[in-house]
Amino acid sequence: MTQHHPDSFILMEYSAGNLSEPHALCVRLHLEQCPYCRSRVDMLDSLGAVMMESRPKVSVDDSLFDRLLTRIEDEPAQQDPIEVALRGHRDPLRKLLGEDLANLPWKRQLGDVSVLDITDHFPGQPERVVLQKLTPGGKAPAHTHRGTETTVVLQGAYTDNKGLFKQWDFIVMGEEDTHKPIATHDDDCITLSVLSAPLKLTGRLTRLLNPLIR
């Protein structure tokens, strides 16, 4: 069971179909492994259907939304939530990339870090979409963010100043966040990140890496 979940706002936008395709992919990958969030999305889908039928239109403020979430979490799911959550994509990343993670054409950046920019798989999207691989125990360069960075851990785990992030955890970093991920020692750590604005590297390797993670 993952420990770090998308917040209610992200799930609401996902349910409404408002997320960009890269962000929706991050949510989908998390949902595939997280029954807790699948039930939340299931409820939101039901809520959306009710709202579409309602006359006159109702608006949902945060407190109503939280009450509904609390209520639905106490109830058993009425249908297989994965069918709702994945919407026909049982392995969306494999489908997108056409390869297993291990066989991708990784580009080595530093001793510990390999990256693969997969932005081209999302034509017309403004975000950058990047896979990053850290060797076991490997360190990523410290960086802040000019926008937000949404990350899903696909394999392995890493730690930073905010805690331990394991496979399928969902992390959103904002402008105020600086971090320096370090992979745990048991496996390569592979993450998928969607960058709404370029990273701003803060460490001594800034000049070396900025052209690569721009």
Contact residues toward Zn ion (CB under 5 A) are 5, 34, 36-37
| Tokens encoding 109 | 């950046």
Closer to Zn ion by Cβ: residue 9 or 36: 36
Closer to Zn ion by Cβ: residue 14 or 158: 14
Q: How far is CA 23 from CA 57, 69, 122, 148, 180, in A?
A: 28, 22, 11, 11, 22
Write down the least CB distance from residue 81 to Zn ion, Å: 12
Of the candidates 39, 144, 130, which has an alpha carbon nearest to the alpha carbon of residue 84?
A: 39
First to last CA, the chain: 33
Write down the least CB distance from residue 86 to Zn ion, Å: 14
Closer to Zn ion by Cβ: residue 41 or 209: 41
Closer to Zn ion by Cβ: residue 37 or 209: 37
Closer to Zn ion by Cβ: residue 30 or 143: 30
Q: Which residue has the tokens 């009450």?
A: 67
Q: How far apart are CA 2 and CA 138, in angstroms?
A: 22
Write down the least CB distance from residue 196 to Zn ion, Å: 21
Closer to Zn ion by Cβ: residue 29 or 140: 29
Write down the least CB distance from residue 42 to Zn ion, Å: 12
Write down the least CB distance from residue 33 to Zn ion, Å: 8
Write down the least CB distance from residue 18 to Zn ion, Å: 19
Please compute, for residue 78, the number of CA atoms within 13 A of its CA located in the half-sphere on the CB side. 6
